[in-house]
Amino acid sequence: MNGMLRRGLSRPEPRLLSKRYLSSATGGGSAGTTEGGSSETTPLRPRPNALTDEIIRVDHAGELGADRIYAGQMAILGNGPLGKTIGHMWEQEKEHRKQFEQLIQQHRVRPTIMTPIWNVAGFVLGAGTALMGEKAAMACTVAVETVIVEHYNDQLRQIMEAPNPDKELLATITKFRDEEQEHHDTGIDHGAEQAPFYQAMTEVIKFGCKTAIAISKKI
């Protein structure tokens, strides 16, 4: 377990984002690297309006944090009864993160400078609550996903009220919102509300998530 925790905390944040951002200054295409090591080019799009820029930056940060939370939970509970359930949610979060990394590249959006901090904080939150037990881990999931679902709903309203709604971004956020709601419901179904100090713990986690969202929107 200690070895898994060390690997999770020491996992370096991919340097691809900074390269993507720097490459946008040239106005040309940006090359990405797949897990298999092959190179792929993602076409750049016109620079986004302020709303799209903010949405992509903050949602990328949020999905990064969610990815690391489930990584922390898996490091502690991956071999237990909840391992398969947590693993399924983690796979979806990794796909969410991958999609927003592609959108950051395509739209040439500057990632939040808080990325390294969210990387570590997410893992610590996931592992820390998992060490308190399965129900505490599920309470963490419920708290985080409650904030994310509300956040995505707010964004969907903003996009639909915009003069020229980004239909692709609208569809992406709608899909991810529905999957985050499923994660929330999974946490409830697996005893989140029976966790020790459930109310206090979830309120603290919600406050932390809302603070991270507010910060990531701007810097």
Asked if 136 and 195 count as a contact pair (C-beta separation under 8 A), the reply is yes
The structure tokens 């900074």 sit at 18
Integer Cα distance of 211 and 3 in angstroms:
31
Tell me if 183 is assigned to a ligand binding site.
yes
pLDDT of residue 45: 59
Asked if 154 and 99 count as a contact pair (C-beta separation under 8 A), the reply is no
pLDDT of residue 44: 59
**Within 10 Å of residue 156's Cβ, how many Cβ atoms?**
16
Tell me if 180 is assigned to a ligand binding site.
yes
pLDDT of residue 150: 97
pLDDT of residue 70: 97
Asked if 44 and 106 count as a contact pair (C-beta separation under 8 A), the reply is yes
Q: How far apart are the two ends of the chain, measured CA to CA in Å?
A: 35
Tell me, what DSSP letter sits at residue 45?
A: -
DSSP state letters, 46-105: PPP-HHHHHHHHHHHHHHHHHHHHHHHHHHHHTTSTTHHHHHHHHHHHHHHHHHHHHHHH
The SS3 assignment for 31 reads strand
What are 48's two structure tokens? 């986004």
pLDDT of residue 1: 54
The domain locations on the chain are 50-217
The SS3 assignment for 33 reads strand
Integer Cα distance of 208 and 217 in angstroms:
14
**Within 10 Å of residue 186's Cβ, how many Cβ atoms?**
19
**Whether the predicted model's global pTM rises above the 0.85 cut:** no
pLDDT of residue 49: 81
pLDDT of residue 32: 44
Tell me if 107 is assigned to a ligand binding site.
no
The SS3 assignment for 133 reads coil
pLDDT of residue 35: 45
pLDDT of residue 26: 33
Summarize pLDDT for 95-120 with one digit per residue, the tens: 999 999 999 999 999 999 999 999 99
Tell me if 145 is assigned to a ligand binding site.
yes
pLDDT of residue 30: 43
pLDDT of residue 206: 97
pLDDT of residue 20: 38
Tell me if 96 is assigned to a ligand binding site.
yes
pLDDT of residue 25: 34
Integer Cα distance of 60 and 216 in angstroms:
9
Task: Please say whether the structural domain 50-217 has been given the CATH code 1.20.1260.
Answer: yes
What are 112's two structure tokens? 């939040």
Query: Nearest Cα to 8, choosing from 69, 89, 59?
Result: 69
- Regions of the chain where pLDDT drops below 70: 1-48
